[in-house]
Structures are given as C-alpha cells and as structure tokens.
C-alpha cells in the first residue's frame, strides 16, 4: 500500500531553513505501531498524520520515539499541504480556516496574508525549583527557571542562549517533554532554543508548541501583546506571535521541500 508523503519546512521562508516535518494525508488511520515506525524511519523532529472528518481533520504527531500532545511546526506543515498541495491548492484566501481535532483539543490554522497562523492553547509557566539535572544539563545557570509542560530557563542575553552546549543525557532524565532556553533578542522581541532528547529530538530547529509558553511569558515581561520571535537553532525559525486571552496565535511561513509516496507493508 502506498500513501502520499510531503516534507515541509515550517516557520521559514527559505528552502533549507526552519523545521522539517513529514506530512502523511490518510484516508483512514494506520495502526499506531506503523505510524511510529514511519516517524522513526523519517527521522525528523515530527511526522504528522491526518484524516478528514465532517468538521475538519483529525491530526496526530509523532517524533522518532513517541507520539506527542502538541506540535506547532507539523501543524503549520499540515495546513500548508492542505492549502498548497491538495484539494485547496491555489484556493486559500485571506481568512481561510482549517480545524484540527487533536490530543490538545481543537486547534485551528488561519490564512493571514502569506502567513499560516495557528490558534493554540496558552500555557503560562510558573516559577519552580530548578532540578540539578537541568542546571547540569544546560551548563550555564539561568536567571530564573519556570515550568509549564516544559521547563523554561531564562537567560540575561541572546549570546548566552546561543552559547549553550547542553548535556543531552542529563536533560533526557528530566520529567518534562522539553527544555526551553530563552532571552530578550537583539533583532527580535525574544529568542529561544528548544531541547527534547527525552522524545528523540536533541535540539528542535523551530518549535511551535514551546511558544504556547513563551508568548504568555514574554507578553507579561515586555508588556506587549504582539511580538516577533526567533528560534536561534542552526536552521533558524521566525515566529509572529500574539497573545489572545487564554489562546496564543503563532504565525509562520512554510516551504514544500519534497513530494512523494511511502510504501507501507500490508500485514
């Protein structure tokens, strides 16, 4: 059996930037084991699978090691595939909307000029005691440590965040999906990096879900509801951010890298 496959770089305008995501449109769900094996074989930070339903799409995300509850860049990639590659190709207009049912509830993607803007839950972080493994793993002591789904380590400068050389074994031992390192930016309102070795992603190039925490945090610190952010990984990512009550709006661009098929063994 063959299924369509796309690889899309999200949160970037350039062909080799942002975060690569695999996208598999399905007519019906494959066995969970098979979807996990496809994600492992792709060896990308995330592979998204979606199935159409009456009110939109059912959407799931897999890292090479596990299914996750929220993923921004693979949602942007899925919306891009629907609008740019499949039945909506060339027909998406300003304000077009897609609905996705996920493990994190209903999510939406909106067409905003040339941006894909995600409607995600806001996950404000709360101050917490910094675990020893977090401090050892990051290698530089942050000014503050907070936590939502992920740990958030606040540094004094963009240069400090860029200089981090984490011990992934230490970070993988933490009881959180990922670790966000962040600071005010030099050419952006804020910058970040994201590490998730626990689920097979040592450093994620451009992370949408971490901005569910970064946006409410920085909105409070900067007293701004709209912000521009950069993820300063090697590939880089750009985020147009907005706090909207108990939701966050995360806008980005996407570029198709390849189109093809996956051969799925029939058992």
Name the residues annotated as catalytic: 46
Task: Output b/e per residue, 228-247; b: 16+ Cβ within 10 A.
Answer: ebbbbbebbbbbbbbbeeeb
Nearest 5°: the CA angle 255, 88, 248 is: 60
Task: Sort 267 into a burial class: Cβ within 10 Å, 0-12 / 13-18 / 19+.
Answer: exposed
Report the chain's C-alpha Rg in angstroms: 18
Q: How is 118-185 classified by DSSP, letter by letter?
A: EEEE----EE-PPPHHHHHHHSS--SEEEESSSEEEE-S-HHHHHH----HHHHHTSSSS-EEEEEE-
Distance CA 142, CA 245 (A): 28
Tokens representing 18 are 């942002």
């Amino acid at each position: 059996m063959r299924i369509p496959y796309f690889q899309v770089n999200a949160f970037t305008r350039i062909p080799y930037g942002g975060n690569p995501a695999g996208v598999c449109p399905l007519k019906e769900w494959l066995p969970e084991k098979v979807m996990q094996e496809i994600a492992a074989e792709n060896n990308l930070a995330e592979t998204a699978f979606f199935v159409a339903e009456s009110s939109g799409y059912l959407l799931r995300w897999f890292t090479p090691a596990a299914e996750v509850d929220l993923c921004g860049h693979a949602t942007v990639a899925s919306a891009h595939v629907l609008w740019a590659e499949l039945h909506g190709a060339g027909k998406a207009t300003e304000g077009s909307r897609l609905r996705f049912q996920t493990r994190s509830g209903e999510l939406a993607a909106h067409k905003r000029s040339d941006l894909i803007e995600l409607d995600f839950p806001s996950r404000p972080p709360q101050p917490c005691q910094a675990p020893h493994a977090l401090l050892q793993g990051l290698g530089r002591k942050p000014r503050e440590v907070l936590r939502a789904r992920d740990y958030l380590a606040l540094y004094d400068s963009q240069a400090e965040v860029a200089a981090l050389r984490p011990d992934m074994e230490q970070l993988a031992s933490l009881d959180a999906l990922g670790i966000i390192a962040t600071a005010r930016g030099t050419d952006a309102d804020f910058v970040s990096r994201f590490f998730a070795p626990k689920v097979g992603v040592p450093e994620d190039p451009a992370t949408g879900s971490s901005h569910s925490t970064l946006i409410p945090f920085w909105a409070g610190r900067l007293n701004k509801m709209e912000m521009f952010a950069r993820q300063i990984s090697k590939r880089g990512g750009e985020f147009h951010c907005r706090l909207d009550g108990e939701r966050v709006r995360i806008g980005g661009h996407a570029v198709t890298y390849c189109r093809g098929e996956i051969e799925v063994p029939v058992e």
